[in-house]
Structure 1
């Protein structure tokens, strides 16, 4: 597939998650709630996670922001559901490496998340893409303590 076609496909995936976000909403009860924002561009997210027996059993988000930020949150919540904490944090490390243009463990199928790989070419947008992931890391690390 040509680079142009791949870029177009990735844009379509990002816009699909932006217009039709997965896992939008708030979890109640004994869920972890993490609020974060990106003051440079106004993105904000409230991530709620349900963790049972060391596994992320559910994840939802609310917020507002650009298409990169909101689609990344949608993709992230899909990716971490059903993963144990260690796996979810590893995915976050892989995503962070991808955003920084570093080599990353490509043995793991990133699915739709790979559509965000082009963000690494735009340093000002990296914080948009990583906001939800940073919220997830913060929540899971606080929960482990």
Structure 2
């Protein structure tokens, strides 16, 4: 697939998650709640998760922000469900490396999240892409 076609595919995946976010909302019975914002651009997220026996059983988010931050939150909440705390934190580490343009463990299927790898070309957008992930890490570190 040509680079232009791949970029177009990635843009369409990002816009799909932005226009049709997965896991948008709040968990009334969530046992972890984290609020974070990016004061540089105004993005903000309210993340609720259920963690039972060391496994993320559910995750939802609300917030406001650019297409990068909101689609990243949608993708993140999808991929961490059913993961152990260690697996979710490892995914956050891989994601951070990927969006910074560094080498990362590509043995793990990242699914839609790979669409955000182009963020590395726009350093000002890295904080947008990682906001939800930082919120998730903060919440899991407090568990």
The match for 1:114 is 114
Hey, what does 2:44 align to over in structure 1? 44
Report Cα offsets for 1:51-110 as digits up to 9, x if no partner: 000000000000000000000000000000000000000000000000111100000000
Pair 141,119 (structure 1): closer, same or farther in 2 beyond 3 Å: same
Describe the shift of the 1:38–1:58 C-alpha distance in structure 2 as closer, same or farther (beyond 3 A).
same
Cα gap change, 1:30 to 1:129, in 2 (>3 Å): closer
Q: Distance in 2 between matches of 1:46 and 1:31?
A: 13
State how far apart, in whole Å, the 2-side matches of 1:102 and 1:67 are. 23
- 1:22 is aligned to 22
- 2:72 is aligned to 72
Q: Does 1:90 align with 2:90?
A: yes
Instruction: Give unpaired runs (5+ residues) of structure 2.
Output: none
Off by >3 Å, runs of 4+ in structure 1 = none
With normalisation by structure 1, the TM-score equals: 0.98
Provide the rounded CA distance (Å) in 2 between the counterparts of 1:42 and 1:6: 29
TM-score, scaled relative to structure 2: 0.99
Distance 2:35 2:23 in 1: 16
Q: Quote the RMSD (CA, aligned, Å).
A: 0.5
Distance 2:39 2:30 in 1: 29
In structure 1, the residue matched to 2:102 is: 102
Aligned residues: 143
